[in-house]
Copies of this chain bind each other. A is one copy, B any other.
């Protein structure tokens, strides 16, 4: 009755299976993929799992209450919709959908069916990003001035989405979680070299207003693997290097501040440079995907709203959608036109966040 199924056993699916197996044991019961080779490969490793090439079979099962979807991006929406319509809670790979309209539909559907809709923004569950959010929330950095993110690699070129939709969800979900703000406008520029129409190199700039700008490099063609994000604050700054095995998060107290010495003489400003200590906080060694899976099952069982719920997914898809527009318009800046209520970081003109349980008498 509370069994879990995984649909999609390509690149990421087997990792989800492995973690679900470790966390949920026999509760993981069914795996599904259209490719019989992949089913066989999983069956060799977990011979007790039931396998099927047809997702409908999964949705039809009464013992399955939660479905994890790790299929190609373009199939996320129909599969997630069908799963939710069958009353299943879903954990969907990033990005949740290929349009905000689809994301909104899933949010509304999940709300109506009272099931959990969670997106696998896996970095949000890493000890590094958790620590960064905590430091930022505590005001350690002072007002943040810029975010610089680079995620480049000789990567798996996708044929259904470009590098923006493939890699940027990671970084957009990280900044969404850390900054707790939504950008005002987006611009993106990119080029396709390998597959026509599929950008494999892209640059993305978000403007959050108030001087805060975030830039992202996304690249599938880089000979070297680089992954870092700099959060530049006026008091302190953080460099998050995901490839450093030990010091993933470093906090720098260096910085600069300025003293205006008088309006009459522009050039007599006094810039004060501080170079200070560097501190690398200890981080737990946990696999983020395991945290994702545990959190999903916890929400399924408790009815809690996931940290990376449909709205978090929608915010990321909104930005990607606008970035895609900008990409098609030669990099022209696109306004996001979404307001946040001050306390919740939730777009006001999106379907309301999940209301508390007592307000939902009509839902089973």
Provided the pairs A201-B145, A223-B230 are in contact, do residues A159 and B278 lie with their beta carbons within 8 angstroms?
no
CA distance A150 to B149 in the complex (A): 11
Whether the pair A145, B193 counts as a contact (CB closer than 8 A) is: yes
Q: By the criterion CB–CB under 8 Å, are B267 and A154 in contact?
A: no
Question: Contact: A255 with B223, CB < 8 Å?
Answer: yes
Q: How far does the alpha carbon of A159 sit from the alpha carbon of B223 in the complex, in Å?
A: 38
A10 to B109, CA, bound (A): 48
A57 CB within 8 Å of chain B: no
CB < 8 Å neighbour of A159 from B146, B219, B222, B266:
B266
Task: Return chain B residues, CB-CB under 8 Å to A275.
Answer: 154, 282
Chain A 223-264 near chain B by CB (<8 Å), digits 1 or 0: 111000010101011010001011100001111111000000
**Minimum C-beta distance from A322 to chain B (A):** 14
Complex contacts, A219 vs chain B, CB 8 Å: 146, 148, 232
Within 8 Å of chain B (Cβ to Cβ): is A27?
no
Q: Which residues of B contact A280 (CB under 8 A)?
A: 277-280
Interface residue A332 (Cβ < 8 Å from any Cβ of B): yes
Protomer copies: 4
Interchain CB contact under 8 A, B221 and A146: yes
Contacts of A277 in B (CB 8 A): 279-282
Stretch at the interface among A166-174, A184-192, A295-303, A351-359: A184-192
Are the CB atoms of A255 and B154 closer together than 8 Å? yes
Question: 8 smallest A-B Cβ distances: which pairs?
Answer: A223-B252, A223-B237, A278-B280, A145-B193, A146-B201, A159-B267, A157-B271, A276-B282
22 of the cross-chain contacts (CB-CB < 8 Å) are A47-B48, A145-B193, A145-B201, A146-B219, A146-B221, A152-B230, A154-B254, A154-B255, A154-B275, A157-B271, A191-B212, A201-B213, A203-B205, A203-B215, A221-B255, A221-B256, A223-B255, A224-B230, A225-B246, A277-B280, A277-B281, A280-B280
